[in-house]
Structure 1
Amino acid sequence: MSEPVIVFDGTCGFCRTTVMHLARSRRLRLSGRLRAYQAVDLAIYGLTEQDARERMWLMHDGHLQGGAQAFAAWFATGSPVARRIGRALTLPGVRQVAEATYRLIARNRHRIPGPWEHTCAI
């Protein structure tokens, strides 16, 4: 089984901070190679720049998932706690709420206060 590749917006401080924090979590122990979309050939993953600007993507064993389901798939690579969170994000009802929440945050990430303010290119 190959290691997943997580493609995210490297110019967005919120995005960068979030994926780095999750990747470094000793409790979650997530597996994956983090790649800013600006530094990869998106065509390899079947993505456009627009796709990559709008959501995080995870490619694993030939499967591509975006948004909240990319997080669910990434969490499935981690510790037992992370795997439970990942499974919960795929449950009927929860999946729809997670995706709606992801879209809301993604659309407004440049407005979220924090140390990343004024770093998001959108």
Structure 2
Amino acid sequence: MPERSVPVLVYDGDCAFCTSSVNFLTRYVRPRCTVTPWQFADLDALGTTRERAGHEVLWISPLGAVHGGAQAVAKLLLSAGGGWAWLGGLLTLPPVRWIAHGVYRAVAANRTRLPGGSPACALPTDRRPGPGPGPGVRSAP
């Protein structure tokens, strides 16, 4: 697996709630990473699968470590620095880590009901509309 110079945040580009959340984070939190929807990412090169990427947001370190769900959010916050890094660090500590995991799972399970959620979010990853994985990673606009 090739080493990257910056981490990669992989999210569900078919989910309007996920896309809105990532747009908010990139605009206001400003993590130091490349952002890409899994539908356009080379998941094999990133060391993950379509099933995992469709299940949770992923943070892939430059060395290839894959963190998912609440811990991906924690890594994103840590990369932003400042007060965000403090919050990200807090999310890595038990029992906050366990609570964050539960909250992330609850949000992920109900994202079709949240503002911006879409019916595509409720479909299994292999039945979602849109393109399949593309040849490479690209930054989101």
The correspondence for 1:87, drawn from 86, 89, 100, is 89
The correspondence for 2:104, drawn from 92, 102, 105, is 102
Q: 1:16 matched to which residue of 2? A: 19
SS in 2 for 1:111: coil
**Counterpart contact for 1:23–1:29, Cα < 8 Å:** yes
When structure 1 is superposed on structure 2, of 3-12 and 59-68 the one drifting more is: 59-68
Q: CA deviation at 1:119?
A: 5.5
C-alpha RMSD over aligned residues: 1.5
Unaligned runs of 5+ in 1: none
Aligned length: 118
Unaligned runs of 5+ in 2: 123-141
SS in 1 for 2:110: helix
Q: CA deviation at 1:84?
A: 0.3
**Counterpart contact for 1:14–1:120, Cα < 8 Å:** no
CA distance in 2, matches of 1:59, 1:15: 17
> Following TM superposition, where does structure 1 have runs of at least 4 consecutive aligned residues deviating by more than 4 angstroms?
none
Q: CA deviation at 1:45?
A: 2.0
The correspondence for 2:69, drawn from 67, 70, 76, is 67
**Counterpart contact for 2:12–2:18, Cα < 8 Å:** yes
Q: Which amino acid aligns with 1:88?
A: L
Q: TM-score, normalised by structure 1?
A: 0.89
**Counterpart contact for 1:4–1:59, Cα < 8 Å:** yes
**Counterpart contact for 2:111–2:117, Cα < 8 Å:** no
Q: 1:52 matched to which residue of 2? A: 53
Identity over the aligned pairs, expressed in percent? 33
**Counterpart contact for 1:29–1:79, Cα < 8 Å:** no
1:68/1:99 Cα in 2 relative to 1: closer, same or farther (>3 Å)?
same
When structure 1 is superposed on structure 2, of 42-51 and 3-12 the one drifting more is: 42-51
Q: 1:40 matched to which residue of 2? A: 41
Q: Which amino acid aligns with 1:75?
A: L
CA distance in 1, matches of 2:109, 2:62: 29
